Structure 1
């Protein structure tokens, strides 16, 4: 208890007050309750972790704690608990170094341990949180005559021959006559045109060859590469029949259940018959801390990223749609009391219709290094500029109090860039508030200057995509608990419309 006050004085938790307490109510509550009243565990773990190898007791004594050895032992146990629970707990904030913001997906590689030559397995499009052998591509370049496993290869044989079991799937035809089949899936009722080759192949496999597949249960250690060296079938008479690898009708190797190999990783025959047995890691994903929807807008000829949820000042998620309504730029200042309004024009011209503050545009730009012979584009994050009347005298009138409050919220918002005031008008540029749409989340100063994310054009299809950030909790093969913040990408809900229009002319009084 005597160490709490010195630690609190040296490492106070700073929870900033939100610029709009009504939109970020959780941030306002946490700021009032815990700002400067609790210990910042992240900063303490970073500082104490660096002092453990040097002089832990001196570090604690410098804080003014009376019994350094006892406190050091407690802090060491706490630091081990943090290291065991959270992955990279003292790393800088922001995305994982394996996250590719241009592709909105993870990319990483695994290398074989103790094997010469080294074998690399690359996963460049990891987005759904479920990793399996088919997510990897063999990317090593082997010299002719070199084996994949090398000196570390282990010849493993099962202790007893496994008993085959027929592979089952929903809607599988019955094995015998007069047996009721599963009515939840009826392959016979599925239609297919002549061009639906994938559907025709699936129907033929399910109805004609579905009972030709068997499962052989074999228990193997995970995190290893395996190759079937030989395969024998022993029938009821004790006769062993060797089964060679399956081949196509033209004699080429059949590669349906084999790992993909890069073209540069030759020779193919020495790599593609390997199978990587991934450890099963089933993570529990919490509610989204950040939720972004990317979609196409054909009417505006743009792509949009809609921030639905982002983290507030306390770290809890907040609804950006509610915040956007409090940053509305659709109001106009009322005419001062007693003033005679000027006669209106028969036509009213609108330069640009307003767009919600949480809608971030992505504009097509030429890819760096593109040539006329190889033309390609990317989608670069832009901003929507909205203008408001900010005449000080008219904002001070009671009738314009709501508009004055909106202007103050816009000027105080950390993600809104205010342009210089000109002739009673001021422009406000809306930047993303969350981390998904930024390349350097930890660097807030670059948001208005150099942080302009570029996405590959094919990463925003017509169906759109949804990207989420959330806490993930899982246990590894040894039972150790793991906690991290991960990102996932799923298919969106199609195209949308922002309502953005330029040079809009209407008749005075609401006519078209």
Structure 2
């Protein structure tokens, strides 16, 4: 049976053929929009002028003194070595540890190579080499038992053939060679050779003097200060708790210490430049009909009432983002820069009587007191100036050559210092968890009777940290030791736990939280601004692995 189907279709039809009205974004109530602009203060005219040029005047005071620790001796600083390398570098000694065997052999071999290729007579070189081998033999100075099989083979090959370069360098530093008496019976022709070798040794591995160690073993952090002389007199910038890694101006605090006696070194700054509007990723589009990045939704930013930082970022992006301008100014590295005047010329300068002299940053009250990059002080105020510390752009870090775990043991009600890995004298690394001896078997109980044990055995690389009270109300963790099978005390094989020996090694109790601390020693390699290479050994404290259990038990019976 046939049927007829009908329907009604709605189709849009423009009243005119002109598309311009739909692209104009017409407003049907301009009075309401004008009222809202007046209500929000957009007619005040504070930011009506556009800056055209900016003239900056100021001065940069370079840091000229460096002091490690809190009571170290301040030394001159020329800015050629990055500050983190000076602060992190371990001090050197005649034989700091037995782990310097390989480095000492390489340095001694290079010294012999330079002497034998120099114009010094062969007979004099032979006599000097014999004296060097006798005065500075390549041998170990560590505890018995630190010589593993690989180290013994290395000593067998090298002993009596090369001197200890580390010991030779320490001797030359203590008694510098002179043209009249280079040392070891060498003639005057050998003085340039020794001086060249000593410079090569100092640049090969950066190391501080024994009295210039910035590492605080009681706090597990670096502490150092730099000094400069500015318009306000002596200024000391202190890094009270530098953890290692990336050093920046935020690590420093301006203190009232004037004991560094830094000589003045100032550079005057004058620059006239063109300001540029600040742009950042996700910034709202400046044009009304410009498509914005769909990956950024400023309207979807969620912030709790106490989340002030997120609200400030959203308000800056939506309200004040187009009111900021960037004025570049190159400042010298390793200096504290202070601006003395900022003059701005804008598009209204001719009508308003000329350029505008801006007040110094932070000189006003309220919002005008706000500024960035200001150093904090001991009294809670902020110091004006931009500090650009001389640091490295990036470093290459080796695998840890030594690792120690500081952890709490709730079962034993104490803390432990566990040597996980230590360096070996021939340049390798010993994993003490794998090299630990098997636990000593408990004595058998005769006739199936129970045996009373005062305490159970703990691995040899576990060292107790016992609470102590050096003064009333001050609690520290003091490194103790356990006795070995023969009754001799067990000593740490590495350097991290041996810093306090033979004196007491005290660590503030709050430095070992429940998650523990992992101490490491590793090598850092970097380049300076002039292309020189730097190699130093640093110590760092990182979060641990949580609580541990040593299995230590007291006063129990074993079947």
What TM-score do you get using the length of structure 1 for normalisation?
Answer: 0.70
- Kindly report which structure 2 residues correspond to 1:201-240, keeping only aligned pairs within 5 A, or say none: 201-210=308-317, 212=321, 215-235=326-346, 240=355
Aligned pair 1:461/2:559, yes or no? Answer: no
Q: Is the 8 A contact 1:311 1:317 kept in 2?
A: yes
In the aligned structure 2, how far is the partner of 1:133 from the partner of 1:353?
50
Structure 2 residue aligned with 1:36: 160
Aligned pair 1:279/2:390, yes or no? Answer: yes
Using the TM superposition, give the Cα deviation of residue 491 of structure 1 relative to its aligned residue in structure 2, in angstroms: 2.1
In the aligned structure 2, how far is the partner of 1:187 from the partner of 1:331?
68
Query: Structure 2: any 5+ residue segments left out of the alignment?
Result: 1-115, 117-121
Q: Helix, strand or coil: the match of 2:471? A: coil
Compute the RMSD of aligned alpha carbons: 3.7
Structure 2 residue aligned with 1:343: 447
Using the TM superposition, give the Cα deviation of residue 181 of structure 1 relative to its aligned residue in structure 2, in angstroms: 4.7
Using the TM superposition, give the Cα deviation of residue 102 of structure 1 relative to its aligned residue in structure 2, in angstroms: 0.6
Aligned pair 1:299/2:420, yes or no? Answer: no
Q: Is the 8 A contact 1:173 1:181 kept in 2?
A: no
Q: Helix, strand or coil: the match of 2:383? A: coil
Q: Helix, strand or coil: the match of 1:343? A: helix
Among 133, 138, 142, the residue aligned to 1:13: 138
Structure 1 residue aligned with 2:213: 97
Structure 1 residue aligned with 2:247: 131
Using the TM superposition, give the Cα deviation of residue 134 of structure 1 relative to its aligned residue in structure 2, in angstroms: 1.1
Q: Helix, strand or coil: the match of 1:288? A: coil
Structure 2 residue aligned with 1:309: 421
- Kindly report which structure 2 residues correspond to 1:97-496, keeping only aligned pairs within 5 A, or say none: 97-113=213-229, 117-140=233-256, 155-158=268-271, 160-164=272-276, 166=278, 168=280, 172=282, 175=285, 178-182=291-295, 197=306, 200-210=307-317, 212=321, 215-235=326-346, 240-244=355-359, 245=361, 250=366, 253-254=369-370, 257-263=373-379, 268=381, 272-281=383-392, 282-323=394-435, 325-326=436-437, 328-332=438-442, 342-345=446-449, 347-366=450-469, 368-370=470-472, 375-385=473-483, 407=485, 418-419=487-488, 429-440=489-500, 446=502, 451-496=503-548
Closer/same/farther in 2, CA of residues 190 and 310 from structure 1, 3 Å limit: farther
Closer/same/farther in 2, CA of residues 248 and 157 from structure 1, 3 Å limit: closer
- Structure 1 residues 265-306: Cα deviation after superposition (integer angstroms, max 9, x where no partner): 9xx5xx611222111313332222211122222332222222
Using the TM superposition, give the Cα deviation of residue 41 of structure 1 relative to its aligned residue in structure 2, in angstroms: 1.0
Q: Is the 8 A contact 1:105 1:126 kept in 2?
A: yes
Structure 2 residue aligned with 1:338: none
Q: Is the 8 A contact 1:385 1:430 kept in 2?
A: yes
Query: Structure 1: any 5+ residue segments left out of the alignment?
Result: 143-148, 336-340, 387-406, 412-417, 420-428
Using the TM superposition, give the Cα deviation of residue 235 of structure 1 relative to its aligned residue in structure 2, in angstroms: 4.2
- Structure 1 residues 100-148: Cα deviation after superposition (integer angstroms, max 9, x where no partner): 1111111111111587732111112112232211111111269xxxxxx
Q: Is the 8 A contact 1:138 1:261 kept in 2?
A: yes
Closer/same/farther in 2, CA of residues 75 and 496 from structure 1, 3 Å limit: same
Q: Is the 8 A contact 2:373 2:385 kept in 1?
A: no
- Structure 1 residues 441-482: Cα deviation after superposition (integer angstroms, max 9, x where no partner): 6xxxx2xxxx22111122112232222112222233333333
Q: Is the 8 A contact 1:164 1:215 kept in 2?
A: yes
Q: Is the 8 A contact 1:27 1:316 kept in 2?
A: no
Q: Helix, strand or coil: the match of 1:29? A: helix
In the aligned structure 2, how far is the partner of 1:452 from the partner of 1:17?
19
In the aligned structure 1, how far is the partner of 2:471 from the partner of 2:136?
48
Larger radius of gyration: 2
Q: Is the 8 A contact 2:453 2:557 kept in 1?
A: yes
In the aligned structure 2, how far is the partner of 1:499 from the partner of 1:168?
56
Q: Is the 8 A contact 1:27 1:313 kept in 2?
A: yes
Using the TM superposition, give the Cα deviation of residue 88 of structure 1 relative to its aligned residue in structure 2, in angstroms: 4.3
- Size of the aligned set, in residue pairs, is 418
Q: Is the 8 A contact 1:137 1:260 kept in 2?
A: yes
In the aligned structure 2, how far is the partner of 1:189 from the partner of 1:358?
54
Q: Is the 8 A contact 1:173 1:207 kept in 2?
A: no
Closer/same/farther in 2, CA of residues 87 and 173 from structure 1, 3 Å limit: same
Q: Is the 8 A contact 2:303 2:310 kept in 1?
A: no
